[in-house]
Amino acid sequence: MDPTSIITPHTTHPETAWLADLTPLAATIAAILIVTFLMQSRLGSALDAWLARRFTPPGADIVDPALRWRPPVIAASRLLAVCVIAALVILVILSRVGPLLVAVVLAGPATALLVWALLWFEEQRYVARIDAALPAFVGRLEAQVRTGSGLQPAIEKVIADMPASPLKAEWSWFLERLGQPIANGLLATAATVCAALRAQTPSRRHATFLGHLEIAIEQPHAALVQRIRAAYEAMQASDRRVSMLTTELSQMRNTGIALFLINVGITLYLFVVQNERFLTAYRSEIGVIVGAVLALVVSLPLIGGYLLGRAEDVTY
């Protein structure tokens, strides 16, 4: 890499000034790495506690302390590594367009925003994996209980054949908590653990099934089989509806993408043809506001197409 490429635009002697600009940046990066290394355990514990609060849904505080659980969306160690890498990358980028002090100040909020987006993405991916695997799990569970197997042995047999996944992790936790002492001095029953898992899983579809299962557990075996079969058939019908809706709504999403690309193309055309006027107009004080509004207007078809193209059906 050419050393002169990392200097700031405020230097007057680029042939030698890159050393002066590199030294404080390197010292700042080294300080961040050293502090992270020395406080790794404390930072990990703090992030772990924050993740527990972040992924605790409303109403989960009424769950018995012995049945508290946090969805394994992301590990604290991985989140710490992501935070450090993101902070360093953002710091280097911002230091190239402005003073180092300003870059250090802005790196914190920018990193927080990036981490928030990452957590939202990981949570959505976690929920999507549960929702995709749930119908097959319920179908195999129904087949097991229909042969006369009890609920706990049936769950053990089903998850034994499952690959590692969020759904397997949640039901493994379910089996681990059966029979655990709880606050009222009794042992956790299947219905109690089922209610606790329903209150803490981030998947609405899974929570809906757990709500049906919680009621069916206390009923005779024939009613349990009937309810699980009804849930499985409803999930299959729901998947068929979602597939049909996705096909129909994909046209709206494609239209939004097409309109977005057309708007971007027109904007780029004006930038190339009227370059000086384009830059003069958007460099003014009012131009910044107009540019932000224009960017929002250009992005609206893309956002609208994405929102209109979503199909969700959890009722059964």
Would you say 282 and 267 are in contact if contact means Cβ atoms under 8 Å apart? no
Does the pLDDT of residue 280 top 80, yes or no?
Answer: no
Closest CA relative to residue 110, chosen from 90, 96, 124, 84? 90
Worst-scoring range by mean pLDDT, 101-110, 208-217, 218-227, 248-257?
248-257
Does the pLDDT of residue 169 top 70, yes or no?
Answer: yes
Closest CA relative to residue 100, chosen from 25, 26, 12, 14? 25
Say how far apart CA 140 and CA 133 lie, in whole Å.
11
- The average pLDDT across 280-299 equals 72
Q: How confident is residue 316, by pLDDT bands cut at 50, 70 and 90?
A: very low
pLDDT of residue 126: 92
Between 58 and 141, name the one with better pLDDT. 141
Worst-scoring range by mean pLDDT, 14-18, 90-94, 149-153?
14-18
Q: How confident is residue 268, by pLDDT bands cut at 50, 70 and 90?
A: confident
pLDDT of residue 54: 77
Tally of residues, the chain = 316
- The average pLDDT across 157-180 equals 89
Does the pLDDT of residue 18 top 80, yes or no?
Answer: no
Would you say 79 and 108 are in contact if contact means Cβ atoms under 8 Å apart? no
Say how far apart CA 52 and CA 59 lie, in whole Å.
14
Query: Which range among 80-94, 121-135, 231-245 has the greatest average pLDDT?
Result: 121-135
Worst-scoring range by mean pLDDT, 137-146, 251-260, 261-270?
251-260
* Portion of the chain with pLDDT greater than 90, in percent: 5
pLDDT of residue 250: 67
- The average pLDDT across 296-311 equals 68
Between 227 and 250, name the one with better pLDDT. 227
**DSSP-H helix ranges across the chain:** 14-38, 40-54, 76-97, 100-146, 151-160, 166-177, 190-200, 204-217, 221-273, 275-283, 285-308
Average pLDDT taken over every residue of the chain: 79
Tens-digit pLDDT profile for residues 20-70: 666 777 778 788 888 888 888 888 888 888 887 777 776 666 777 788 888
Tens-digit pLDDT profile for residues 189-210: 888 888 888 888 888 889 889 9
Does the pLDDT of residue 158 top 60, yes or no?
Answer: yes
Q: How confident is residue 6, by pLDDT bands cut at 50, 70 and 90?
A: very low
pLDDT of residue 314: 46
In SS3 terms, 135-147 reads as HHHHHHHHHHHHC
